[in-house]
Amino acid sequence: MPHLRQRYALDKIKKKLKFGPILLIQGARQVGKSFLLREIMAKKMNLKYITFDNRSTMEQFEKTPHLFLENYTEYKTLIIDEAQKSPKIFDTLKEIVDENRIPGRFILSGSTEFSLLTNIKESLTGRATRIQIFPFLLSEIKHLPLNPSKSESLFLAKPRVSLKDVLQFMENGGMPGIFAIKDEEERMVLFSDWLDLTCKRDILQIKKLNLDPDLCFKILQGIATIEFADETSLCKFTGANLKKLKNHLNGLAGLFVIHRVPAFFGSTGKNIYFLLDVSFAHFLKADVAKKIRQFIFQEQVAQRSYRGEIHSKIFFYRTGKGSFIDFIVEHAPDHISCYKIYEKESFNQLDIKILEKFQEKFQFNSVTNKNVKIDLYGIAPIKEKIKINEVTIYPIESLS
């Protein structure tokens, strides 16, 4: 079964359970949260799993919440899946853990950002830690350990996957219930069903935002097909005004369907957006360049999350003349990595000019009064890494 592959999140979950009393595990629908919690953690770690997807279970809890939870005190950890379906759980757990903060008492899982739901009053701030589950990474699908690179760049000196693997992944993606299906027509049906349920059902759960399903779908199309899908270009593509667009973007982000990447200091342009998984970009007719950018983004964001790089922040950079650096990763105020994606196999000095100008412009931080270490990288469809001045250009597959 595809779901049985080792998940990188598992080690991080085990570590988090040693500290805070409540762990929030969130991520988009069907990325494998429930399977991980029910079939792997509950069965192998002697934890108790219940789900509020079961209406009877949820109703029993809501009648007598404290008494209901008392029935599970024999278990070291109680897992409550789809917790957002009974908002009462949040205030109830707040009261319980405030009395006794035993580490690892509860895991709450859900497919919606809890704070976006209108009748959830308590965010559990200071009482809960959080982990996001992403679709399978390519290396998880290939049964490989989490990227072992010791460098903050994440590049591997010797790629563990092939370019063919990457190209296949850019079509099939990493959604557990879809990627392993060999029949392309059937995969396309499942992608369509997933998007329909997200835009026509799930998005309506966030009642306070008053979201339009058709506009949500149009936004996802724009994110997939616009070269650099920022808020300005998405307004033009959808015909929505900025206020309405942002409302819908917040809703989609609250379902973990999209990711927001802000502009780096000194950059022009508003936030740009990426989809949950490259397979949806493929389904929505993204070109190859856009799929490569999407693939590299989700490798960066998921790997850094699973590696525990909580201080790493991802930005983009665009000059007033439109030159673009795809990703700026700020590891610390005095350490930055720049990533420029190239679609070609040969290079010259002009290709790296924007990277060198960025390094020159930001090599000193006037706030901390320190020099800034700026690493310059390119990513391209090449067979082996090359170096031009201070820029090291790696094959696309070197990130997996």
Region 379-387: mean pLDDT is 94
Closest CA to 196 of 137, 83, 284: 284
User: pLDDT value at position 117?
Assistant: 64
What is the C-alpha to C-alpha distance for residues 328 and 340, in angstroms, rounded to an integer? 9
The domain limits of the chain are 2-132, 138-399
- pLDDT tens-digit profile of 337-381? 999 999 888 888 888 999 999 999 999 887 778 899 999 999 999
* 377, two tokens: 């990288």
Q: What is the mean pLDDT of the chain?
A: 92
Region 210-235: mean pLDDT is 96
Q: What percent of the chain has pLDDT over 70?
A: 97
Three-state secondary structure call for residue 28: coil
Sequence-distant (6+) residues with CB within 8 A of 335 are: 152, 372, 373, 375
User: pLDDT value at position 228?
Assistant: 92
User: pLDDT value at position 113?
Assistant: 87
User: pLDDT value at position 329?
Assistant: 96
pLDDT band for position 45 (50/70/90)?
Answer: confident
Q: Judge whether 295 and 166 are in contact, CB under 8 Å.
A: yes
251, 196, 213, 254: CA torsion to nearest 10:
0
How do strand 391-395 and strand 373-380 relate by DSSP bridges?
parallel
Return the minimum-mean-pLDDT range out of 33-42, 171-180, 188-197, 323-332.
33-42
User: pLDDT value at position 4?
Assistant: 66
Could you tell me the sign of the dihedral formed by the alpha carbons of 248, 250, 256, 262, in that order?
A: positive
Q: How many CB atoms lie within 10 A of CB 12?
A: 17
Q: Judge whether 124 and 92 are in contact, CB under 8 Å.
A: no
Sequence-distant (6+) residues with CB within 8 A of 91 are: 121, 122
User: pLDDT value at position 122?
Assistant: 59
The end-to-end CA distance of the chain, in Å, is: 22
User: pLDDT value at position 100?
Assistant: 87
Q: Judge whether 176 and 7 are in contact, CB under 8 Å.
A: no
* 264, two tokens: 């780096």
Residue 2 has pLDDT above 90, yes or no: no
Give the distance from CA 63 to its chain's centroid. 36
Which residue type, as a one-letter code, is found at position 296?
I
Q: What is the b/e burial string over 19-38, where b = at least 16 CB atoms within 10 angstroms of the residue's CB?
A: ebbbbbbbbbbbbbbbbbbb
- Return the residue matching tokens 């989809």: 275
Q: Judge whether 400 and 385 are in contact, CB under 8 Å.
A: no
User: pLDDT value at position 189?
Assistant: 97
Q: How many CB atoms lie within 10 A of CB 303?
A: 21
What's the pTM value of the predicted model, to 2 decimals? Answer: 0.93
- pLDDT tens-digit profile of 88-135? 898 899 899 888 888 999 999 999 888 776 555 556 777 889 999 999
Sequence-distant (6+) residues with CB within 8 A of 147 are: 139, 154, 156, 303, 307, 399, 400
- Topology of domain 2-132 in CATH is Rossmann fold (3.40.50)
User: Mind giving me the DSSP string for 129-152?
Assistant: EEEE--SPPHHHHTTPPS----ST
Region 301-326: mean pLDDT is 92
User: pLDDT value at position 345?
Assistant: 87
Which residue type, as a one-letter code, is found at position 34?
S
Three-state secondary structure call for residue 314: strand
Residue 315 has pLDDT above 70, yes or no: yes
User: pLDDT value at position 123?
Assistant: 60
Q: What percent of the chain has pLDDT over 90?
A: 75
Could you tell me the sign of the dihedral formed by the alpha carbons of 158, 161, 163, 164, in that order?
A: positive
Sequence-distant (6+) residues with CB within 8 A of 1 are: none
Instruction: Considering only residues 249 and 113, tell me which one the structure prediction assigns the higher pLDDT.
Output: 249
The H-or-E segment that residue 316 falls in is strand 313-318
Three-state secondary structure call for residue 163: helix
pLDDT band for position 321 (50/70/90)?
Answer: confident
Instruction: Considering only residues 206 and 56, tell me which one the structure prediction assigns the higher pLDDT.
Output: 56
